[in-house]
Amino acid sequence: MRTSRRLALGAMLVALLVGACSSGGGSKPTVKVGSVGFDEARVMAEIYAQALEANGYTVDRAGIGLGARPVVAPAIESGQIDLQPEYIGSRLTYEGGSPTGDSATNHADLQLLLAAKHLTVLNYAPAIDTNAFVVRAETAAQYNLVKMSDTTAVQGQLRWGLAADCPTNALCGAPGGALQAGYGITADVINGATLLSACDVPMADALKNGTIDVAELCSTQPDILVNGWVVLQDDKSTQPADNVAPIVRDDLLAKVDQASFKKILNDISAQVDTATLADLYKQVSVDHKDLADVARTWLRAKGFIQ
């Protein structure tokens, strides 16, 4: 009688353990969070990281600020990182898709492409940060620059600062891409440009000190407002709707309670509009506040952490 009771209790214990593992209710895995190198993406990665920690996950931050998209995309595909904030229109272009100005379409199309790589795109934020070509106010006045089409006739007189991957990026200088097909900017001009990390401090500094005349920045970049720079209108609509969304490896999702894990990140994304994103970016890159402090303050203000 005692033996059978022990067997029954043992069977119940095994069943409970199996149930816990299968539902994601066991020990939570370490989440390796990564991002591209510029401050806006880094602060979003830190926000997601702290929210996960507040919900019992251990976070490895070694991948935050890892590098440009050609570095970060292979990193999440290989499992070097598990999760990254991404710009859905730009990532869609990188994956060979054709982004549009419609956020929902970009999200759906990107998910179709990434499914084959065992990656999931979670809900996108209202915030949009798109690629922008920016000039100093005096340059705009000197050459009568209002829109990107205005640069075509004077392209050789301007010193261009372009993203490091611009010569191969369809949204920038790749053959048949935005600059060449859209605005007639020649391969010689593109190949002769100063290549820097887009949306980053060195690009903004180069424009500020006059090393370059045209800078590829992000539309939310606070340096634009701080310095009174002019964003040239993308009059040929070459740049996509670039909402922020987390991308997660499917093998990580298989180890967690998917519903609760996704809710943590989706609830955060829902609270990030363009003004919020720009402000977070400014606090880190212009005000030089600590990245973790900026993320923590925002999460507390929104009630996501204590």
Which residue in the block uniquely carries the two structure tokens 């702290």? Answer: 50
The ranges of the chain annotated as CATH 3.40.190.120 are 131-231
The answer regarding whether domain 16-128+242-301 maps to CATH 3.30.465.10 reads no
Tell me if 122 sits within 8 A of 246, measured CB to CB: yes
The confidence score (pLDDT) of residue 12 equals 40
Tell whether the model's pLDDT for residue 162 goes beyond 80: yes
Q: Find, among 245, 260, 210, the residue nearest to 23 by Cα.
A: 260
What pLDDT does 4 receive? 38
pLDDT in tens, 20-55: 443 344 589 999 999 999 899 999 999 999 999 999
Separation CA 138–CA 135 (nearest Å): 8
Contact 165, 172 (CB under 8 A): yes
pLDDT by residue (tens digit) across 259-304? 999 999 999 999 999 999 999 999 998 899 999 999 999 999 999 9
CA atoms within 13 Å, Cβ hemisphere of 46: 21
Using an 8 Å Cβ cutoff, are 136 and 59 in contact? no
pLDDT at 26: 56
Q: What's the DSSP call for residue 167? A: G
C-beta separation of 169 from 204 below 8 A? no
Could you give the residue range(s) of every CATH 3.40.190.10 domain in the chain?
A: 16-128+242-301
- Closest to 133 (Cα-Cα) out of 163, 174, 109, 113: 163
Q: Is the pTM of this model over 0.75?
A: yes
Average pLDDT value for residue range 150-154: 98
With cut-offs at 50, 70 and 90, classify the pLDDT of residue 70: very high
The yes-or-no verdict on residue 165 having pLDDT over 80 is: yes
pLDDT at 175 over 60: yes
- Look at residue 109 and tell me whether its pLDDT is greater than 60: yes
In residues, how long is the chain? 306
Residue 9's pLDDT band (cuts 50, 70, 90): very low
> What pLDDT score does 197 carry?
86
Fold of 131-231: D-Maltodextrin-Binding Protein; domain 2 (3.40.190)
